[in-house]
Amino acid sequence: MANEVMMQAFEWDTPSDGSFYRNLVKNAKKLKENGIDALWLPPMTKGGSDMDVGYGAYDLWDLGEFDQKGTVRTKYGTKGELHEAIDALHDAGIKCYADVVLNHKGSGDEKEKFQAIMVDQNNRNQDVSEAHDIQAWTHFTFPGRKGKYSEMQWHWYHFTGVDHDDLTDTSAIYRIVGEGKYWDKDVSNEKGNFDYLMNNDIDHKHPEVREELFKWADWFIGETKVDGFRYDALKHISESFINDLSSHIIDEKGIDNFYLFGEFWQYSKETIEEYLKTTDYQVDLFDVPLHFHMEEASKSMGNYDMRKIFDNTIVKDFPEQAVTFVDNHDSQPGQGLESWVEDWFKEIAYALILFRKDGYPCIFAGDYYGLCGPVKKDPLEEMINNMIRVRKNYNYGEQDDYFDDPAVIGWIRRGDDEHKPLAVLISIRDMAEKQMHVGESEAGASYVDLSGKNEDVIIDEQGNGVFTVGPGQVTYWANKETL
């Protein structure tokens, strides 16, 4: 994936008018021209309504084909429009990654009565009631689909937990009681055990569930022709299940023909390393630690130690498994994992993922096109397009870091036989300059600031250049003859 760039094609408040897939058809060629190699597409399966972003998963087999939950289309369009979008993207040379939600199901069709135990919200291993009858929307009949593609109906015993008892109208976390039933052990140990996230928590140990989800994955990949999966909510799903499913997919598709990556919202290096090992390094992970470092730096008033920006990150410790990103639909303002990287830091942040040797960078549509929800943000399309061009043209060769000042860091990509070097300089505080070595072969060359902020720099006889950067800015420089 040399210098490839992924884009998350949606944000939380992407319009719910069903135009999303049609817009992809219109924009496919332009996206490729602007350097986008792959799109992470939103959940394609039916949610609880035509407004559902896709994470309130209802029917995995309904891609906008059946009249269910008051709508045929999903938030993003119909199944036919989905096929047209993927075809257009493939024709343009863009890979398509599907967001898959396998942790839970919501908006059940009928209530069922069963035994459950209320647990402590903050320690899910702590029971706070005896087993007793509750009632919840756990029967999924999918009346609009009428058994097409799959005849399985879901019942209470296919789940491990729910969050509401209709008998007493009580909202709490309930662990379902039954033979062999308990929270999965191989999940995050936050809150004692973080198997339960929301809605009806799927029991990935149940043989009927496993068979259904494996069958669905095969069907879905064949039906949509997608090139990869982005797994949602990995820290809440059994690691062994994800490993088994991933192995199955790779056995079917081939390791080079299908890309697996996922959301593992964890900060600890040890936890991340253990997850990568347990899943046999089959699933790449979003670099959440780097995201948090960038958020912290952006809110530090210039007091963050930039020499440590990559410490304990996935891209530093496990570079082959790192998907680097600045923000996403969960971190944007108003969302459950809000951790927005401040606007002044955005260009710096994108330099940190686009101009480095390692990592598979993911651009956020909420940055590229702007946010259109309650909190508005201006689009950064022009800036990001320019940075992607710089990545494609100059981000090659070995990397020499100049991380010798807490507020001012820089690095050189040395280039290769076909590409000249790239110099990058960042200051989060004051105007600064730094001498960096681009190579004796560049002596006498004029280096231009591709960010358009500074005058040219002449490389001296030893191959050094003194590069400048303004306060709270990033500059990136290349040989003027290459323009």
Binding residues: 103, 184, 195, 201, 203, 236, 302
For residues 160 and 211, the answer to whether their CB atoms sit within 8 Å is no
Distances (CA, A) of 61 to 48, 303, 434: 14, 50, 57
CA dist list (Å): 151 to 61, 105, 147 = 10, 17, 4
| 239-253 vs 269-278: helix crossing angle, rounded to 10 | 50
**138, 155 Cβ separation under 8 angstroms:** yes
Q: Would you list which residues are annotated within the binding site for Ca(2+)?
A: 103, 184, 195, 201, 203, 236, 302
Q: Are 317 and 273 in contact (CB under 8 A)?
A: yes
CA 90 to chain centre: 21
Residues assigned a catalytic role: 232, 263
Q: Say if residues 258 and 227 touch (Cβ distance below 8 Å).
A: yes
- Which residue, among 192, 198, 210, 204, has the nearest Cα to 162 in the 3D structure? 198
CA dist list (Å): 354 to 6, 284, 343, 351, 432: 11, 18, 17, 5, 22
Nearest to residue 373, comparing CAs of 326, 345, 324, 338? 338
CA torsion 159-163-164-165 (nearest 10°) is 50
